[in-house]
Amino acid sequence: MCTNRTALSSERQQFVANFLDTMDIVSPLIARQRYAAVVNGTQNLKVYTFGECMKDLSQPDCNLCFARCKTRILSCLPFQKGTRGGKLFYDGCYLRGNVSVYGLAQCWEFVNASACRNCLAEGVDKIGSCPSKEEGRVLNAGCYLRYSTFKFYNNSQIEPTGSKGGRRHLAVILAATSSSFALLLVLATATFFWRKKVLMRRREKKQLGALVDTVNKSKLNIPYEILETATNYFANSNKLGQGGSGSVYKGVLPDGKTVAVKRLFFNTRQWVDHFFNEVNLISGIYHKNLVQLLGCSITGPESLLVYEYVPNQSLHDFFVVKKNAQPLTWEMRCKIVLGTAEGLAYLHEESQVRIIHRDIKLSNILLDEDFTPRIADFGLARLFPDDKTHISTAIAGTLGYMAPEYVVRGKLTEKADVYSFGVLVIEVVSGKRNNAFAENSSSILQMVWSLYGAGRLCDAIDPLLEGNFEEENSRRILQIALLCVQASAELRPSMSVVVKMLTDEHKIYEPTQPPFLNLSNAETSQLTPPQFTSNSQPGSHTQSSGNSMTQSWIEPR
């Protein structure tokens, strides 16, 4: 809440300087003793500041809250809404505290009491799969459970149905049982969330401590003030783009080096994971096809990551936003496909640790001044132990690029990146997005697979190229892409083999069909890209795999 006292233009510069000095004084006090009362400045330009964290906050949460307050209170500086004062209160920065939980448990009318209890007990176990959600529901065969932070039910009296005493008695039993389980459900849900919050706080505190130690010990630490100045205080004119985890700004360091500064959002609990991933996984990795991390900052109002600046931005800008009038030439596209494959092969097999990127897509492939591709955004990346065939993890990534075995089972291997790469290659070559969910539209995987069976792969090439491409080379690249998106993870080649195929050092095999396609040979010959409505399947190249998933295996290094 900002005050309505208007600041004079002559006071602005000194007032802002006093404010920034005051924040520098307050920050360590909050971090050390959880409160601060500071008066700074002279005469009528004094800055009076008071801040305190409530006792229910851990120290890391206190620090995060204060950092966010520092950012938001900037809106009350002079000439921002015509004010020169303000106050903020955050309830722990995130929703917590006195929130009621309402629950309902109900059995079907014909279910007996014993079956009702068993059904509801099973439902209570299942509803644990709705953590950190404001509402959850379970519909079993025989009963229904629901909880929410708002009162979704009415208090109308349950009337017995039927005239026989036995039926009325059964209705009373079921009502009593449902009420009891509703209470148990509320208690179980509250206990579950409380325990989850405690465990989350412990984990975050440990992670945050490790993160601070990592940054302080590394040579990557760059003062927040330098990066703030480099980006002209994160001016919109310097904004390069925005993703799910933060915004990216162009900046110029004091030595004249142009960089890209990623400003992580504080409105997500995953920011520590994202920051830790970027700093830990790629700070010591150097490859011509990977974006290099130059530095970071964790001491200011928000966390910042600093990367080398890549002037031609991302493939997303060429194929979706289409900021550039001229489309990429065939030679450029071949260079992008090979470079991306080499970067992934390095992550999977050549770096000191095996890394799975998990989010290969158009917007995460950047292009430098020579249109050399650079893989970016390692916020979702995972280390892959040498002694494991797969790791189980929560599903994360972008729809349309995620491998079927990962979506269905949560089992992650390098073959998930191979699948994403195959989708990316088809997008780059065809100039179309892999949007399998658009109304009256087929996915490009289906299009390319059908054209492959019809012996017309060249029909899938981007029409903007106006025929300026090598037919044999285009068929090879698309066939390799189809090998990468096969339904069976075991049949997909490793990225090192993909590189050899792209450079004519390895035989290219016949692919099996991509996942989730059920095609017949009847209408293949009638396809006319890019629009088609076929449900066809190439007959001569089909190997029945359907939607079945198999556990991936990894070749030894």
Residue positions in the annotated binding site for ATP?
Answer: 262
Backbone angles phi, psi at 61, to 5 degrees: -65, -35
Residues with Cβ < 8 Å from 450, sequence gap 6 or more? 519, 524, 527, 532, 534, 536, 537, 538
User: What are the residue ranges of helices labelled H in 377-465?
Assistant: 404-409, 414-430, 444-453
How much is the CA Rg of the chain, to the nearest whole Å?
29
Whole-number Å distance between alpha carbons of 485 and 488: 8
Residues with Cβ < 8 Å from 212, sequence gap 6 or more? 298
Whole-number Å distance between alpha carbons of 538 and 528: 15
Q: Active site includes 417?
A: no
Catalytic residue among 273, 359, 377, 417: 359
Angle in degrees, CA 343, 382, 93, rounded to 5: 125
Binding-site positions: 262
Distances in whole angstroms, Cα of residue 9 to Cα of each of 18, 40, 48, 135, 302 = 15, 20, 20, 50, 29
Q: Which residues pair with 536 in a beta bridge?
A: 520
Contact (CB, 8 A) for 285 and 236 = no
Helical axes 330-345 vs 471-484, angle rounded to 10°? 30
Q: Which residues pair with 103 in a beta bridge?
A: 147
Backbone angles phi, psi at 304, to 5 degrees: -125, 145
Strand bridging mode 143-148 / 135-140: antiparallel
In this structure, the dihedral spanned by the alpha carbons of residues 380, 383, 389 and 392, taken in order and rounded to 10 degrees, is -40
Strands (E) across 385-539 are located at 391-392, 411-412
Backbone angles phi, psi at 39, to 5 degrees: -120, 125
Whole-number Å distance between alpha carbons of 49 and 47: 6
Contact (CB, 8 A) for 554 and 495 = no
Find out whether the peptide bond into 530 is cis, omega within 30 degrees of 0.
Answer: yes
Contact (CB, 8 A) for 366 and 314 = yes
Give catalytic residue positions.
359
